[in-house]
Structure 1
Amino acid sequence: MERITYPLLYFDIAPQVVLGFLVGTDLQVVEKDLERVKLNLGNYLQRQYKKYDDYPFVDLIDPKLRIMDFEVRPTYRDDGGSYPLSQAVKVPVAIIYGATEQDNYACHVPSLNGSFYYYEPKQFESLVQYFVTNALNQLDPPAVYKLLRYRKPKLDKVILKVNADRDFFRFGRVRPRDYPTLKRLTEPYPFPRNKRKQQSHLPEAAWELEMAVADVLDKLINTRSNVLLVGKHGVGKSAVLQQAIRKITTQSRKQQLDFTFWRIMSQRITASAKYLGEWQEQVESLVDELQSANGILWVADLIQLLQTGGEGAEDSVAAFLLPFLQTHKMQMIGEATPEQLESMRRLLPGFVQTFQIIRIDELSEDKIRSVLTQFAQYVQTRLQITLSQEAIDQSYRLLLRYYPYESFPGKGIKFLSRCVNKAQLANRSKIERADVIQEFVYQTGLPELFLRDDLLLNTRDLENYFHERIIGQSEAIARLIEIVKIYKAGINNPYKPIATLLFAGPTGVGKTASAKALADYFFGQGQKKSPLIRIDMSEFQHPGQMGRLIGSGKEVGQLIKEVRERPFAVILLDEIEKAARPIFDALLTLLDEGLLIDNFGRQTDFRNTIIIMTSNLGASVRSSIGYQETSTESSAYLSAIRKHFRPEFINRIDSVVFFNAIDSDDLRKITLKELKALTAREGFAKRQLQLLFDDSLVDHLVNIGFDKRYGARPLQRAIEQTIVKPMSYWLLENGQKQKVRLKLSWEGKLVISMK
């Protein structure tokens, strides 16, 4: 049994005369004493519940009583005009208020038979003043003076015990509460109290979007329309729907309209279907149960209805539902981006025509900051965690610059909620600017250097970073440093990828190593996965393979999948010249606008990526190992590139970076760099072995690890065969050796000696 608690406001209006108001309802009782008032109201509620299995809705948590005085001048009114009395009077009015289960606040004025909701405690005073003053001004003098006769009221409660599992009886017929199809495929909204506690502490509030909420209410209740909210990601579409649903639920219980809402993911409709026609039967059962429950279906991913069920939109779940929507046998709400709306109009125009469209634009900066401030107040009240103003301002600036493809206030609330989660886990009661920056580093991998204006770029450190990782490619290093400087200055184009580069030159000279070094510098600070997305374009040599790369129909391509998982990354399209020519055309929009949009309006954003393509075109005229690249050879590379790629493709590339052939000095530097990396491997590190490489071994690796055709690529294989394999045998035989220095030399074979 569940106990429903109703606030009871009562007045001792005369000896042995008590007037009681059941707060939140229109029920009033006059009895000899308080106990009789409570007994009378309790018995009435119990009888109604047993007869109709229904009871008045109340959602106040820990209600409070406050007596407030309001000055009013009683006025007589008739068709001829208004006739106010000469003197104003002060009227004490009892106010019942408190938080609700819907994460907002309610205020009831029983003596004036009115109530209203509000979202922030600071709104209480002004709203009560407006509401009560307006209500008192509508009363005639006798009604005003009647209020003056009331004595000081008190607050008590009335308890009703109910059984939530009983059948629902209304209008002379029994209607089952247990809807098997709805229960299996959907979840009721608002969530039940026990489930709501398991949800995120994200507020379900539509701050600064009250007009949109009112519009949804009007279309759902007054015209019984299907409603589609359209706006960019993050503008508050879901928040508006949630707020509207909660308001309708509250009103429907009070006015006995009995609306219900059911939230569904499109894929669940067909996920359990095993045989032909099964999902169609499920949809028909779903519609029948919605009619029985007076239900409205909230489809969380509306466009997926056009992708689910059949091969195309014309035989999808959306097409199957279309007749039910057109004949008003079901009511549906959903949301979409502008791109998704256009896709739905193109694929199944009749489906879109069944909806009333409400557009939600991004809020102004003042309203966005107001929403973030209200969120901070919500967190302070709910979780006792303080968000400093500096933290709010910093998050706004970072999100504005680095997440241009998402909209406020959604992206702000989502990001600050992550900061709050971290603070909870760390038992911190305040979130400062530094905490916001650290969370942003963790999410994006960007170093603090890019996020803080007070940190200056050290050019010498920057040059040393790239020279340590890239050997013998001064031109390439200079170009990478330019990209870093432009990005640090904040003057890169925010509506394109950070940079689009084509690395040209012979194989094995450091093109991939340069891409990795840039990825680590830009995005290697916080991400768990590697910030380098590497795709071998030689695997996409036929036009039919475009779907595997970009996606087609319901399938998501490799490139799209990788970028959605890691939106801050360096994308390396290796050997781009080997891809099919139609793929170049598909990449034009990506290079120019940093966006890819599929047939269903799904958008993938590349504006926080650096796109690097590598090519060996023109390598047939390269220099041999040990000789520097000449300007003639650079011209040969550029000529080969221009012959292979169309002009509109080349024009969308920021710059072509030429990589030189490796000279003899660089060969040795690369070898020493690889040997240094070898010493960090786990087997050596855990034994604390110090490896010393003799010149004879280094010279041998230089001789066998480089090839005129493949550059430095054979070096890794040479190290594995020459050093790693013999060392593995030695370690197995001498596993007890720890914290020793080993000298490795070459005397026709690897010689290992302890020093």
Structure 2
Amino acid sequence: MFETNFSQKLTLHARHSLKEARDLARYTRHGTIEPEHLLLAIFLEDTSLGSILLENMGFEKEALAKLCLKKKTRGKTLPATRIVPLSPALKDILRRAYFLASQFHYPYVGTEHLVYALFESESETLKRILAALKISDRKARTTLESHLNFDNFPQLSKMLDLPENFLIKNKPTESHATPFLDQYTTDMASSDIHNADSLIGRDRELDRIIQILTRKQKNNPLLIGEPGVGKTALITALAKMIARGAVPHTLFGKRILLLDLTLVVAGTNFRGEFEARLKEIIREASRDSGVILFIDEIHTIVGAGNTSGGLDAANILKPALSQGLIQCIGATTLAEYKRHLEKDPALDRRFQSVVVAEPTLEETKGILWHIKKSYEDFHHIALSRDVIDLAVDLSVRHIPDRFLPDKALDIIDEASALAKQKQTTPVALTVRIDLENELRTTRTLKESLIQNEKYDDAAAWHAREKVLAKEIAALKATQGERPENNRTPVTAEHILRTVSQMTHIPFAKLSKEAPKQKLIRLHQALAKHLVGQKEAAAALERTLSRSLSNIGDPNRPLGSFLFLGPTGVGKTLAAKILAQEFFGDQSALIRLDMSEFMERHSVAQILGAPAGYVGYGEGGKLTEQVRRKPYAVVLFDEIEKAHPDVFNILLQILDEGMLTDAEGRKVSFRNTLIILTSNLGTASFTQQANIGFTKHIGKHDLAERFETIKREVLETLKKEMRPELLARLDHTIVFNALDEGAIADITRLELDILALRLKAQGLTLKYPKTLVSYIAKKSFAPEQGARLVRKNIQDFVEKSIAETLFDAPEKRSLRLSVKNDSVVCL
């Protein structure tokens, strides 16, 4: 039935146009308001969508006014007190406009709908006007279709007559129609949005919000908190409390409506449309004292809808807020508040800030325990308290850049989905699902046949529909909707695998592999590959055993070391071995060459360029890599070359296990191993290596000499490095210079690696001890460590093998020997 209060459905532009049409009818002394009066009134309503449509069709104001303002009789203009009724033709046009808006789910009737209805009408006067202005009907319809995109406009039914006095201002009533609020807002107390049945540890914030809402002035709370801490859930809980009456009497009968600003902006193609919609929303909210608007991500109102010559949402809301016409609750993050709202004091002072802090560990566990039923019902799984506690603990340790309870809920949700994947569907349930799918298909076919007026065929499908419905009902009666006793439990393994997938941390590390086994594996790898460095290997194992036992400080890195020694003795190799054995992946090594950070300006690259500088937003060389690989060895190579400002960054990493990059994001180093390398004291080490093999001295004397040199190097270190940095390191490990025996062992190791590469190609390689001695002797250079070993193997061994294979490609067995100071391959 057509609403008696029809004018409430009209936009401001449409209402003004109808009033202007009434005034034009009085001016021309017509007894009724005619379609041509409405046509001219819409065209005179600047910035309205209807006016823009008419202008695009080719209408001109002077010509149209001349045709529409012909006076019917001589005499004075009709008095303003006289009611001018609608003509039958205009009534029909308004009906068409109303049903056009309804058909396409518009909450209002705008000038665009009135224009469309005018051109759908059969008014002879309008046809004469179009002919006089030389505007073809085809051009008019093309313009309408291109702007409004209404396809297959339906024939509209005749409805009841409009009341003759609907343009007269209505007296205020207790309840008003709110089409714009209905269209663009959602009641936060409705049960189908945001599960907030339980709110743990938020009493202080709730009391503060209620206190602000009951103020006389500036009664607009603004919730400020990090993403995921529960700002929206807090308002949802408040809305449900109001609905239950569990609030002070001053809030009885209030409704908190979530304003969808994106929906308000959507479809506003022309200047003034957005402003008109928002003004209507404000008007409806101001007339209903029980409405409280909630704008989530309120910083988006700054600039929203701002087109050339228009206002943004913030400037439209300011007058209503300052005059107390509406109440509004906002929610935003601290970063967005500083970036947008704090810079606009006129807007900021309309709100009262409420800081929503991240809940504690125990509060989060309580929150998850109280809302677990919704996840259990959705995923058809079972959650235990131990599993929930594990999810919270792991989220805090391994996802430091997000906030509780959101990150813990994500783990629970994904782990539940993982557990659900393992569920086996009963055969009876599979049959029921197939029947339900068939029922949906049958209904679709039936409806399609009805639309095509094939009623006999539709009746047959309707009979099939009834049979399927009975079968499904019978299955439901025997099976139950979903048997509660068949829920799959979410286990600790599901949680661990989920965290591993989300953070790229090896599952073996999360599953807490036996520390003893990992330590044995690390010992074997160091003994095999870190040749000639027994002291250093033992020091590494001692320090890392503390981390593997989980007795270290959880707020610091897993371990921090300073490797000292000459070049080529295995410092970087030790870091690679740790990455492989400690983190399960040799690529889990983040290496920074400190020679790149010798200047003050280059230090900024570690954390990222500050705002306003080239490279801002690209992330830091260190922080970005650690964010992507939170479980890794971080190697600061040749630390003595770094600018002193780098040491300040290292102090923060070693002390707190956290860094904040240039964009304000926190990066955790608590799951990393920090290794600094330095070549301080190289001359002393190379001197020791030469002494050890140019003079015949015993092992005891050589050990004493190493300890003496070690003390000298550490004294040099104390002079060159800041004492507060050295104090924060877990261990300073001195690598010895390599003697000829160590070089021989490394040569043998490299030859074995070469033999494995050839074996993969179907070739076998044998070599005598004399070859090892030959390569080791040529490679022994204390100032270069073992770096010459690989080069000499390439120059002498690999070259000889390549020449042999070129001459005899069918050869599969290779034997090396040394003849006349050269390597020969047979």
Deviation for aligned residue 1:221? 11
Q: Does 1:651 align with 2:647?
A: no
Q: Residues 162 and 516 (structure 1 numbering): CA distance in 2 closer, same or farther, change over 3 Å?
A: farther
- Which residues in structure 2 correspond to 1:654-669 (within 5 Å)? 654-669=730-745
Partner of 1:25: none
Tell me the equivalent position of 1:637: 713
Counterpart residue identity of residue 695, structure 1 = K
1:548 aligns with 2:548: no
* Counterpart mapping for 1:253-268 below 5 A: 260-262=259-261
Among residues 483, 494, 515, which one is paired with 2:554 in the alignment?
494
Residues 737 and 782 in structure 2, CA contact (< 8 A), matched pair in contact too: no
Match of 2:642 among 579, 585, 590: 579
Distance 1:327 1:598 in 2: 39
Instruction: State the alpha-carbon separation in 2 of the partners of residues 240 and 735 from structure 1.
Output: 76
Normalised by the length of structure 2, the TM-score is: 0.54
Q: CA 1:283 to 1:633, structure 2 compared with 1: closer, same or farther past 3 Å?
A: farther
Q: 1:432 aligns with which of 483, 491, 500?
A: 491
Q: Is the 8 A contact 1:538 1:578 kept in 2?
A: yes
Matched, 1:597 2:652: no
Q: Identical aligned pairs, as a percentage? A: 25
Question: Does structure 1 residue 378 correspond to structure 2 residue 374?
Answer: yes
Q: 2:222 aligns with which of 227, 237, 240?
A: 227
1:491, 1:175 → 2: CA distance? 76
Cα deviation, residue 422, structure 1: 3.7
Task: Write the mapping of 1:725-736 to structure 2, written as runs, cut at 5 A.
Answer: none
Alpha-carbon distance change, 458 to 368 in structure 1, aligned in 2, over 3 angstroms? same
The separation in 2 between residues aligned to 1:239 and 1:736, in whole angstroms, is 74
Q: TM-score, normalised by structure 1?
A: 0.59
Q: What is the rounded CA distance, in whole Å, between the counterparts of 1:746 and 1:669 in structure 2?
A: 18
SS in 1 for 2:532: coil
- Post-superposition Cα deviations, 1:366-402, rounded to whole Å, max 9, x if no partner, equal 5433333355433331122344555434434444555
Q: Partner of 1:513 in structure 2?
A: 573
- The amino acid that maps onto 2:547 is Y
Which whole-Å CA distance do the structure 1 matches of 2:271 and 2:609 have between them? 27
Q: Deviations over 1:641-679 (max 9, x none)?
A: 222222233333232211111122222222233334445
Q: Does the C-alpha gap of structure 1 residues 413 and 618 become closer, same or farther in structure 2, counting only changes over 3 Å? A: same
Q: Which has the larger radius of gyration?
A: 2
CA drift of 1:613 comes to: 0.8
Bigger mean CA offset, 475-484 vs 365-374: 365-374
> 1:412 — aligned with what?
408
Deviation at 1:593, TM superposition (A): 1.5
Query: Pairwise mapping of residues 36-55 of structure 1 onto structure 2 (< 5 A)?
Result: 52=9
| Coordinate RMSD, CA, aligned | 5.4
Q: Does structure 2 retain, via aligned residues, the 8 Å contact 1:206–1:239?
A: no
- Which consecutive residues of structure 2, in runs of 5 or more, have no partner in the other structure? 12-98, 116-146, 149-183, 246-252, 264-269, 283-292, 304-311, 323-327, 425-487, 693-701
Return the offset for 1:581: 1.8
Alpha carbons of structure 1 residues 506 and 203: separation in structure 2 relative to 1, 3 Å: farther
1:359 aligns with 2:355: yes
SS of residue matched to 1:168: coil
Shift in CA distance, 413/256, structure 1 to aligned 2, threshold 3 Å:
closer
Residue type of the alignment partner of 2:411: F
Aligned mate of 2:533, from 455, 473, 489: 473
Given candidates 224, 233, 236, the residue that maps to 2:230 is: 236
Amino acid at match of 1:565: R
State the shift of 1:463 in Å. Answer: 2.3
Letter paired with 1:372: L
Partner of 1:64: none
Once residues 237 and 283 of structure 1 are traced to their aligned partners in structure 2, the CA distance between those partners, rounded to angstroms, is 34
Counterpart among 520, 529, 534 of residue 591 in structure 2: 534
Determine the C-alpha separation between the residues in 1 that align with 2:663 and 2:807.
Answer: 61
Q: In the TM superposition, what is the alpha-carbon distance from 1:559 to its structure 2 partner?
A: 0.8
The one-letter code of the counterpart of 1:395 is: A
Provide closer, same or farther for how the CA distance between residues 246 and 707 of structure 1 changes in structure 2, counting only shifts above 3 A. farther
**CA separation of 1:245/1:503 partners in 2, compared to 1, >3 Å: closer, same or farther?**
farther
Alignment of 1:2-401 (within 5 A): 52=9, 165-169=104-108, 207-209=198-200, 225=220, 227-231=222-226, 235-237=229-231, 240=234, 260-262=259-261, 298-299=296-297, 333-336=330-333, 356-363=352-359, 367-374=363-370, 376-399=372-395
Structure with a larger share of its residues in helix? 2
Query: CA, structure 1 residues 602+459, in 2 after alignment: closer, same or farther (shift >3 Å)?
Result: closer
Is the contact between residue 626 and residue 669 of structure 2 (CA under 8 Å) also seen in structure 1? yes
CA contact (8 A) 2:358 2:404 kept: yes
Equivalenced residues, count: 547
Structure-1 residue corresponding to 2:431:
none
Matched residues in 2 for 1:668 and 1:285: separation?
83
Instruction: Report how far residue 203 of structure 1 moved.
Output: 7.8
Structure 1: 5+ residue runs without aligned partners? Answer: 1-42, 55-159, 180-187, 192-196, 265-281, 307-319
Are the aligned partners of 1:290 and 1:296 in contact in 2 as well (CA < 8 Å)? no
Check conservation: 1:504, 1:617, Cα contact below 8 A. Answer: yes
Contact kept, 8 Å, 1:230 with 1:357, in 2: the verdict is: no
Question: Once the 2 structures are TM-superposed, how far is the Cα of residue 736 of structure 1 from its aligned partner?
Answer: 7.4
Whether the aligned pair in 2 keeps the contact of 1:437 and 1:451 (CA below 8 Å) is: yes
Query: What is the one-letter code of the residue matched to 1:620?
Result: A
Change (3 A) 1:452 1:602: closer
Higher strand share: 1
User: Displacement, 1:321?
Assistant: 9.9
- In structure 2, relative to structure 1, the CA distance for the partners of 1:492 and 1:214 (3 Å cut) is same
Measured in 1, the distance between the counterparts of 2:805 and 2:213 equals: 75
**1:205, 1:658 → 2: CA distance?**
58
Aligned: 1:567 with 2:563: no
